[in-house]
Structure 1
Amino acid sequence: MTDADRGPVHALGPDWVLGEDGLRFRRAARVILLDQRDRVLLVRGHDADQPSRSWWFTVGGGIDAGEDSRAAAVREVREETGLVLRPEQLVGPVFTRSAVFDFVAEHCRQDEDIYVARLDAGAAAEAAALSRAGWTDLERDVIDELRWWDLEDLAREELEVFPEGLAGLVRSLLPGWDGRTRRLGLGAA
């Protein structure tokens, strides 16, 4: 199917389609990206229609046509951070989640596969110079910063963090993943 077959591309991007429930919908892949000190890399963004409201979230985004979630996760990490991961560095998906939220004056639903990956020492050194070169125009407009978070500081953060309870979720993964993909509650993002 071409963009012409689907009709005009929505302002959110070509991966957002009108779902059966009437909401803008896409499938997405996200990554809980950890460094050697158990810090997690998060993105802080805001809504173009509500610039005073901002929140923190994991690296990731929409799954392109013909792409599986693992490939999308690797691509999104590269586009949003400049860091290059190999698919085998991703563990999981460790969580799945369906998020319903308002963005760009639309009610949206996003079904997410969430992986975890730990940077090796070489990649951790590269992480000091994160790149924004792969950002879309929309991302340049609504993403405010990338930041490595210590879990104690993240647990105390007053801005919204998605997925909810992320510091505890990360702590549950530090000893290793048990191989079970856990479904996180339906939540707002």
Structure 2
Amino acid sequence: MADPGPPGPGLRRAARVILLDPADRVLLMHGYEPADPAVTWWFTPGGGLEGDESWEEAARRELAEETGITQIELGPVLWLRTCSFPFDGRHWEQDERYYLARTEQTPAWTGGGTELERRSITGLRWWTCAELLAARETVYPTRLAELLRTLLDEGPPNTPVLLETERA
């Protein structure tokens, strides 16, 4: 894949993982706003790049820290997304790359690698595409059910798909 270049000024670079098990279920994390635990959502494992690590290194590290899963086949970048959202009293601007990965390993909620994760994540769950399509809960990225259905039906795209910017 050709590198799309550096993120814009002030953008946090984040590697996210679309982790599939042998039954094609996707692993999501359940999070909440620390100031208001009633505001919840589901999201993919992943997080910000540290130092000079690569996107792939960050994807592997974040997945291991957040789920305990280290035995993966890391595939291509599926999607690119820019998002903007308030969380824990600050505003976040992110440049995200979503990697496909597969595993046969069972996750274990590690409690999170950071203090913020321990204050804002309650656990993990495998979701089928049908469950995502029927979900009434908030899931990020917002079109994940549709994107997952396309991925499972057609396989990974030849080049990463640029998703619409999400702003909250």
Query: With structure 2 as the length reference, what TM-score do the two structures score?
Result: 0.88
After superposition, the C-alpha distances for 1:55-98 in whole angstroms (9 at most, x for unaligned) are: 00001001011011111001111111111145xx2222110101
- RMSD of the TM alignment (CA)? 1.8
Aligned twin of 1:4: none
Is there any run of 5+ residues in structure 1 with no aligned partner, and where? 1-18
Whether contact under 8 Å (2:15, 2:96) holds in the other structure is yes
Tell me which residue corresponds to 1:95.
79
Tell me which residue corresponds to 1:109: 93
Matched, 1:181 2:160: yes
Bigger fraction of residues in helix: 1
Identity %: 42
Write the distance in 2 (CA, Å) between the matches of 1:131 and 1:107. 26
User: Per-residue CA shift, 1:102-136, capped at 9, x if unaligned?
Assistant: 101222111101001111xxxx2x31x51406521
Alignment map for 1:25-174 (pairs within 5 Å): 25-85=11-71, 89-119=73-103, 124=104, 126-127=105-106, 129-132=107-110, 135-174=113-152
Instruction: Give 1:155 deviation, angstroms.
Output: 1.2
What are the ranges of 5 or more consecutive residues in structure 2 without an aligned counterpart? 1-7
Does the residue aligned with 2:116 lie in a helix, a strand or coil? helix
8 Å Cα contact 2:83-2:94 kept in structure 1: yes
What amino acid maps onto 1:110 in structure 2?
A: Q
Name the aligned partner's letter for residue 142 of structure 2. Answer: E
